[in-house]
Amino acid sequence: NNIDPNKIVSVCVTPCTAKKAEIRRPEMNSSAGYWNEEEMRDSDYSITVRELARWIREAELDFANLEDGKFDPLMGEASGGGIIFANTGGVMESAMRSAYKFVTKDEVPANLISFDAIRGFENSREADVQIGDKVLHVAAIHGTGNFRKFYEHMKETGTHYDFIEVMACPGGCIGGGGMPRHKLPQVKAAKESRIASLYERDKLKPIKAPQDNPEIQVLYNEFYDAPLSEKAHHMLHTEGFIDRSSDLGPNGACTPETCPTSVANLKKAQQ
pLDDT at 130: 92
- Tell me: do 30 and 114 sit in the same domain: no
* Calpha distance 173→88 (Å, rounded): 7
Q: What is the DSSP letter of 87?
A: B
Q: Are residues 81 and 140 both part of a single domain?
A: yes
Please tell me whether residues 91 and 55 are part of one structural domain: no
Domain identity same for 186 and 211: yes
Note whether 85 and 57 are same-domain residues: no
106: domain CATH number?
3.40.950.10
Closest C-alpha to 172, from 89, 52, 114, 48:
89
- The DSSP line for 169-195 is STTBGGG-TTSPP--GGGHHHHHHHHH
Same domain, 47 and 96: no
At 77 the pLDDT is 78
pTM score of the predicted model: 0.81
Number of domains in the chain: 3
Closest CA to 108 of 127, 122, 89, 95: 95
Q: What is the pLDDT of residue 145?
A: 93
Residues 6+ apart with CB under 8 A from 262: 255, 256
Q: Are residues 232 and 160 in the same domain?
A: yes
Straight-line distance from the first to the last Cα atom of the chain, in angstroms, rounded to the nearest whole number = 51
Rg (the chain; Cα; Å): 21
The alpha carbon of 109 is separated from its chain's Cα centroid by a whole number of angstroms, namely 24
* 116 & 164 share domain: yes
Q: Under 8 Å CB-to-CB from 145, ≥6 apart: which residues?
A: none
Last residue of a domain, one of 15, 40, 69: 69
62 and 151 fall within a common domain:
no
- Report pLDDT for 124: 94
Q: Which domain, by its residues, includes 61?
A: 1-69
Residues 211 and 88 in one domain: yes
Task: Determine the pLDDT at residue 69.
Answer: 86
User: pLDDT by residue for the chain (271 residues), tens digit each?
Assistant: 788 999 999 999 999 998 988 888 888 889 999 999 988 999 999 999 999 999 999 999 998 899 988 877 777 778 999 999 999 999 999 999 999 999 999 988 888 888 898 999 999 999 999 999 999 999 999 999 999 999 999 999 999 999 999 999 999 999 999 999 888 888 999 999 999 999 999 999 999 998 999 989 999 999 999 888 999 998 988 876 666 666 666 665 655 565 655 555 555 655 5
Say what the pLDDT of residue 257 is.
60
3-state secondary structure of 125: strand
The pLDDT value recorded for residue 262 is: 54
Buried b (16+ CB within 10 A) or exposed e, 220-246: beeebeeeeeeebeeeeeeeeeeeeee
22, 153: one domain: no
- Same domain? For 16 and 114 the reply is no
